[in-house]
Structure 1
Amino acid sequence: MTAKAQTLRFETEPKEGETIGEVAHRRIRLHIVNGRLKPGEKLKLDRMRDTYQASVTAMREILNRLAVEELVTAEGQRGFRVAEASASELRDLAELRILLETDALRQSIAQGDLDWEASVVAAHYKLSAIETLLINKAEDAVEQWVAADWGFHYATIAACRRPVFARTHASVFDRFARYHMLALNFRGKPAAQEHADLRDLVVGRQADAAVDLLTRHIRSGVEHILSSGDFQ
């Protein structure tokens, strides 16, 4: 996956040269991540075709791709369902995200140039604006926050130049973010402050402190999600 594809990960509007299937794939993935499509929900091909404006054949391909990403469960001849959610999976995803993201963050801090620093600051500026809306109870900004949160965390590790890491991390991030959306959506001012502090540490090239903060940030998110009582 290219850097451009990564930054467009949560965009739902068609881009020049894209196929209907590519747009539908992004939209379905986003709707699973933000909880519009619920855990365990049956994904009927005819209904999905009408909703996402793609053929049944294309929908089957897309759902098989999402099954590889573990956002969807394939049930053989019985079709597809949205993947279930559990506390144990959330904790596993958090630790895997920490493993991947902290390593990539250290490499980015070591290798990133001035343009990379600028991209981190710009991504945080956008995220901060949306977090302010959410703190002020603008619930319609949730989908924007999913994209902006991804955009910021991706920006911090974009200079690591390890495409296999990037693809794996992106998939893990999607599955982790889904739990935020299914539970309490957004952790509020503490998360916003941690993002601001992480920006400063990253741009200041303070790798150890940035890794420590990122680790605490992710684990605090887990405890916040589990405090909802929605996952066993």
Structure 2
Amino acid sequence: MALLQAGDSVGGSLHRRLREDIVFGRLGPGSRLRLEQLRLRYEVSVATLREVLPRLISDGLILFEPARGYEVAAITARELREISDMRILLECHGVGLSFLRGDLDWEAGVIAAHHKLSRMEARMLAGDRTMSEDWKRYDREFHVALVAACGSPELLAAHRRIFDRFLRYQVLLVMFRGDAATREHDALLAAALDHDAARAQDLLRGHIGACIDYTVQNGLLQDTQG
């Protein structure tokens, strides 16, 4: 059984582990989540599972139907568009607050997160796709760092939930846009250090929207918009 992180309860640890396994594709879309199999896999009680699974329903990562039980949520182009719109709203608002309040410690956190992401993107650009999960973790870390000084725990929690749902699509579809995404991250770093929220918000709209265009243009998901 994995060690608990500092401050974790058994339920909190299970929620984190299940969420990561769904987001990073170890539990794929449509997978049935049978309690006995999950109990053995995660070495927890059925009671703990019954406590945690409804939280993952609220996170939008699993579904429950009385006749079928629990299963990992499917992915669709329509949902990806909806999630992307929500991410733009939350992240642009968070950036506006964070850039206003961010201090030197916040800037240092953004720089550190960007450094890890840029090093991983350089490996991806060189053709090394063996670290794709770390690449997406660092991508999440960078975008979370941008909004970290917003001062709103509710906004940060909502952003985390919607970002993880967006991230799941990126992982499952391997949505790596190459040098264009790297340049956008560089531009976001520069905007953050300048505390230029308007520029960062424009960059974010293009950055997130380009992921949708890339997905549809490359046939990774059928475009059901209409």
The gaps in structure 2 that reach 5 residues or longer are: none
Say how many residue pairs are matched.
Answer: 221
TM-score, structure 2 normalization? 0.91
Instruction: Specify the alignment match of 2:32 in structure 1.
Output: 42
Amino acid corresponding to residue 155 of structure 2 in structure 1: F
Partner in structure 1 of residue 109 of structure 2: 119
Comparing 55-64 and 95-104, the one that deviates more = 55-64
Equivalent residue of 2:213, what SS?
Answer: helix
> In 2, Cα distance between the equivalents of 1:13 and 1:181?
25
Task: Kindly report which structure 2 residues correspond to 1:161-172, keeping only aligned pairs within 5 A, or say none.
Answer: 161-172=151-162
Kindly indicate whether residue 50 of structure 2 is the aligned counterpart of residue 60 of structure 1.
yes
Does the aligned pair in 2 maintain the 1:183–1:228 contact within 8 Å? no
Aligned residue identity for 1:34: F
TM-score by length of 1: 0.89
Q: How far did residue 31 of structure 1 move?
A: 1.6
Stretch deviating more after TM superposition (198-207 or 57-66): 57-66
Q: Which digits, 9 at most, give the CA deviation of each residue in 1:110-160, with x for residues without a partner?
A: 111111111100111111122222223333312212221111101101111
Residues 50, 210 of structure 1: alpha-carbon distance in 2 compared, 3 angstrom cutoff: same
Q: Secondary structure at the match of 1:139?
A: coil
Superposition pairs of residues 134-149 of structure 1, within 5 angstroms = 134-149=124-139
Contact 2:175-2:214 at 8 Å conserved across structures: no
The DSSP-based 3-state class of the residue aligned with 1:160 is coil
Which of 188, 206, 212 is the aligned partner of 1:198? 188
1:17 to 1:211, Cα distance in 2 relative to 1, 3 A: closer
Correspondence for 2:142 = 152
Give the ranges of 4+ consecutive aligned residues of structure 1 lying more than 4 Å apart after TM superposition.
Answer: none
2:178 matches 1:188? yes
Amino acid in structure 1 at the alignment position of 2:59: E
Structure 1 pair 187–13 and aligned structure 2 pair: CA distance change class (3 A): farther
- Please tell me whether residue 175 in structure 1 is matched to residue 168 in structure 2: no
Unaligned runs of 5+ in 1: 1-11
Residue 84 of structure 1 corresponds to 74
What is the RMSD of the two structures over their aligned residues, measured on CA atoms?
1.7
Partner of 1:8: none
Secondary structure at the counterpart of residue 179 of structure 1:
helix
Secondary structure of the corresponding residue to residue 140 of structure 1: coil
1:99 and 1:56 map into 2 onto residues whose CA distance is: 37
- Whichever residue aligns with residue 106 of structure 2, its letter is W
Question: Take 1:63 and 1:77, find their aligned partners in 2: how far apart are those partners?
Answer: 16
